[in-house]
Amino acid sequence: MHSHDDASASVDFGQWVKSRRLAELLTQEQLAERAGLSVRTVRNLEAGRSKARLPTRRLVIVALGGSRLIDAAAMHLDSGPPRPAPPDPNR
């Protein structure tokens, strides 16, 4: 059973995948081929119908631009709220 947060994270990742794919001018078929996944998997990811495991996310991220996107995607997919800055010890 998925929690609301799990479903939301799947949709967020799917939206990110679709926007990156379109920015790269790729079809779902081309992305699937680059990532070594089925077209059905790409469609399900983009639609938020499938919760991608970390290895699948890595394949997709690399296929969408390589390792330069991994850090950006990891930050985007961080499920926690923004963390406040640590207190300034000089105050």
So what's the pLDDT on residue 18?
Answer: 95
For residue 33, count other CB atoms closer than 10 A to its CB.
15
Alpha-carbon gap, residue 58 to 55, rounded angstroms: 5
| Closest to 48 in 3D by CA, of 9, 85, 75 | 9
The domains of the chain, with CATH numbers, are 4-76 (1.10.260.40)
pLDDT by residue (tens digit) across 49-83? 888 889 999 899 999 987 665 666 666 665 555 55
Alpha-carbon gap, residue 91 to 75, rounded angstroms: 29
Task: Write down the pTM of the prediction.
Answer: 0.64
